[in-house]
A and B are shown apart, each in its own frame.
Chain A
Amino acid sequence: MAGPFTSGAGAPVAGGPVAGGGHSSAGVVLTGPVQGGGRSGLGRFLTRLAGGRRLVVAVPYGWLLLFFLVPFLIVLKIALSSSQVGIPPFTPMFETSLDEGKTIVNLVWYNFTYLLSDNLYIIAYLNSLWIAAIATVLCLLLGYPMAYAIAKADPRWRAPLLMLVILPFWTSFLIRVYAWIGILRNEGVLNNLLMWTGLIDQPLHLLYTPGATYVGIVYNYLPFMILPLYATLEKMDNTLLEAAADLGCPPWKAFLRITLPLSVPGMLAGSLLVFIPATGEFVIPELLGGPDTLMIGRVLWAEFFNNRDWPVASAVAVALLLFLVVPIMLFQNVQGKQQGKA
């Protein structure tokens, strides 16, 4: 469940000892009758095998290094530079002065201190966390019954039902968000329907409200909640519920005392999968939310493209990562250790 966040942690052990083992085996082979004549065929083979293993492990590390760590370091570098008019719109890190021929290192902190000095950023952060938290709870409340229903459905029906959950992914994310504009706007599907039934006389103002933002986030991230929850609920041992019933526990109570606590890992995994991207969400609040829906993703966009202040925008991005991802990684680490202990 926790795969996307912890996958990096376990692997580094694999390269070292395995490679060492390969070499020592080769050493044993060397003590044979071949004297001073270099390595035997088997020894060479084992060495190559160890090298091969190292290569296999290196692929995911190389990927992460190239496409995650390097871009992050570039963003960090920009965040530590000063803004200037030009291309690129920030000062270079190393500057060679023409007069003295000396190289000066330009690293400044003030982009980060600037984030603290203006309320806008802190409010945007807190607002993002708040909106993401509410959206996560809504996803959990909506997703749990759906995941539960699929897990309890006849095995024949499970695959088609899961298919239906995943089906929206076949359309582009952006188109799905635009579709909601068509549904929610004043002359949209929903208002027309309500007017037609006579429930309302005037169209409701639905689009460009915080409510529309929640609808967009919940709709788009619901599958990320349902899938890990389903995986947890589906593999749960049904005899535990029979045992509970046998001990005098009616079904609703067995759900609270057995099913619910045992599905906590699925709830946590689903919540993280919804909460993290929702916090940094830009498209949904931009398209569906009103001008007062302040989220950090929009602030970031505005810094980059409206103000063209790349260093501050980079600082916002780095701060987002540090304040959001680092606590979650620590939490996962502690949780993993507890599970290991238990």
Chain B
Amino acid sequence: MATPQPSRTQQKQLEPWRNAGEKPYVRVEKVTKRFGDFTAVDDVSLSIYRGEFFSLLGGSGSGKTTLLRMLAGFEQPTEGKIFIDGVDMSDVPPYERPVNMMFQSYALFPHMSVESNIAFGLQQDRVPKAEIRDRVAEMLELVQLSPFAKRRPHQLSGGQRQRVALARALVKKPKLLLLDEPLGALDKKLREKTQFELVNIQEKVGITFVIVTHDQEEAMTMSSRIAVMNKGYIAQVGTPTEIYEYPNTRMVAEFIGSVNIFEGRVVESEPDHSLIRSDEAACDLYVSHPAHIGVGTACWVAVRPEKIAISKEPPLGGEPGRNQTAGVVKEIAYLGDVSIYDVDLDTGKRVRVTAPNLTRRTEMPITWEDRVYLSWRPFAGSVLTE
């Protein structure tokens, strides 16, 4: 794969949530799930649209898998309702839902060949034998497993098993495919390759995907939208860009990628900008969007490491003392394409900076214990109120 982003053709049509008239395909309404005293899913409401690649992203115990299992019908909501294609799913058992799931453990039937595993779902629908054969062959072709049709699951590698599980879930042409950590068991290279394959398959077959993952990179690459979950509730729903660039809480900002967070107090909050005074950053933080809270209130400003410029000389231009600060380099990690610098400000606050290695060099221009200047543009930061 040469393209760094999976190509999302007709981007506009793929953003149905912006269209007010569009009916959601899956509607989760105020759903709560309790196991004894433990609340796994806490008052969640969601709308997922036809053709979306929707990610439920969160750490372990965030309730994402429970939510997925409720969509599949393996768990019943304690409160609230789930609608799929407008139908209330409360009394619909899993085997009658227009939904298929790809399990985290793949759950392949060990006593059946690859072929029989894929054919299983079609047999339940009493599809004629000839058609089953054709559709199974077609699926095997799609996941490139035709030579392995007669094998048993335990004779396959992890990656092959994962593709059998995908084929088995896809062969029934469900309107909605649920994927529970589908790539968890694969190594990094294979995982990246499969991510692109999944997106390509999803575009080819045009069905709605809901995927559960704890891997933010995975969610970023594949999703049309992401719901970040924490302790059973949904912290934020948005496109990968929105979640990354405009996180609404510190929790979301810290969960997605790495981030520097400066504590401060609002000095100015205007429609086109806001100014936050931060002792921690040892400078004023000028942000090109309103703070939405009163002057004098405590808040936080998040600045991504790659949006901070690092230099040994004071930056030219800009207002001194505004989005500019200085410190000493304490840690350097050379990653080839980029280098990561951990800089201790004079206030003691540690700031992470990522800088691309634009030139080839053997000796580094910035090294340990160098005094450096950090600066960033007004659009780099975002104000967080919680």
Chain A residue with the shortest CB-CB distance to B111? A261
Chain A residue with the shortest CB-CB distance to B104? A239
> A248 and B110: CB pair below 8 A?
no
Report how far A239 CA is from B120 CA in the complex, Å: 15
Which residues from chain B contact A249 at a C-beta distance below 8 Å?
95, 120, 124
Instruction: Tell me whether A250 is interfacial, beta carbon within 8 Å.
Output: yes
> B107 and A248: CB pair below 8 A?
no
> A240 and B95: CB pair below 8 A?
no
> B125 and A243: CB pair below 8 A?
no
State the interface size on chain A (CB cutoff 8 A).
19
Which residues from chain A contact B307 at a C-beta distance below 8 Å?
none
Instruction: Tell me whether B94 is interfacial, beta carbon within 8 Å.
Output: yes
Interface residues on B, range: 20 to 34
Tell me which residues from 110 to 169 in chain A have a Cβ below 8 Å from any Cβ of chain B. none
Which residues from chain A contact B74 at a C-beta distance below 8 Å?
242, 245
How distant is B144 from chain A, measured CB to nearest CB, in Å? 22
Contacting residue for B94 out of A242, A261, A262, A342, CB 8 A = A242
Instruction: Tell me whether B168 is interfacial, beta carbon within 8 Å.
Output: yes
> B124 and A262: CB pair below 8 A?
no
> B111 and A262: CB pair below 8 A?
yes
Contacting residue for B95 out of A237, A246, A261, A342, CB 8 A = A246
Instruction: Tell me whether A195 is interfacial, beta carbon within 8 Å.
Output: no
Tell me which residues from 151 to 202 in chain B have a Cβ below 8 Å from any Cβ of chain A. 152, 154, 168-169, 172
Instruction: Tell me whether B93 is interfacial, beta carbon within 8 Å.
Output: yes
Which residues from chain A contact B99 at a C-beta distance below 8 Å?
246
Report how far A245 CA is from B111 CA in the complex, Å: 17
Tell me which residues from 125 to 166 in chain B have a Cβ below 8 Å from any Cβ of chain A. 125, 152, 154
Instruction: Tell me whether B83 is interfacial, beta carbon within 8 Å.
Output: no
Report how far A250 CA is from B124 CA in the complex, Å: 9
How distant is B118 from chain A, measured CB to nearest CB, in Å? 10
Chain B residue with the shortest CB-CB distance to A246? B101
**Chain B CB within 10 Å — which of A237, A245, A248, A249 has the most?**
A248
Instruction: Tell me whether B17 is interfacial, beta carbon within 8 Å.
Output: no
Instruction: Tell me whether A66 is interfacial, beta carbon within 8 Å.
Output: no
Report how far A323 CA is from B93 CA in the complex, Å: 52
> B95 and A242: CB pair below 8 A?
no
Chain B residue with the shortest CB-CB distance to A243? B107
How distant is B23 from chain A, measured CB to nearest CB, in Å? 25
Which residues from chain B contact A239 at a C-beta distance below 8 Å?
103, 105, 107
Instruction: Tell me whether A34 is interfacial, beta carbon within 8 Å.
Output: no
Which residues from chain B contact A199 at a C-beta distance below 8 Å?
none
> A242 and B124: CB pair below 8 A?
no
Q: Contacts A249-B95, A262-B110, A262-B111: A244 and B120 contacting too (C-beta < 8 A)?
A: yes
Which residues from chain A contact B108 at a C-beta distance below 8 Å?
243
Chain B residue with the shortest CB-CB distance to A254? B95
Q: Contacts A239-B103, A242-B94, A342-B152: A248 and B109 contacting too (C-beta < 8 A)?
A: no
How distant is B209 from chain A, measured CB to nearest CB, in Å? 15
> B103 and A245: CB pair below 8 A?
no
Chain B residue with the shortest CB-CB distance to A238? B107
How distant is B121 from chain A, measured CB to nearest CB, in Å? 4
How distant is A228 from chain B, measured CB to nearest CB, in Å? 18
Instruction: Tell me whether B32 is interfacial, beta carbon within 8 Å.
Output: no
Which residues from chain B contact A243 at a C-beta distance below 8 Å?
101, 103, 107-109, 168
Instruction: Tell me whether B26 is interfacial, beta carbon within 8 Å.
Output: no
**Contact surface of B with A, Cβ cutoff 8 Å:** 72-74, 93-96, 99-101, 103, 105, 107-111, 120-121, 124-125, 152, 154, 168-169, 172
Listed by A's residue number, 8 A-B pairs whose Cβ atoms lie within 8 Å are: A239-B103, A242-B94, A244-B120, A246-B72, A246-B169, A248-B124, A249-B124, A261-B111
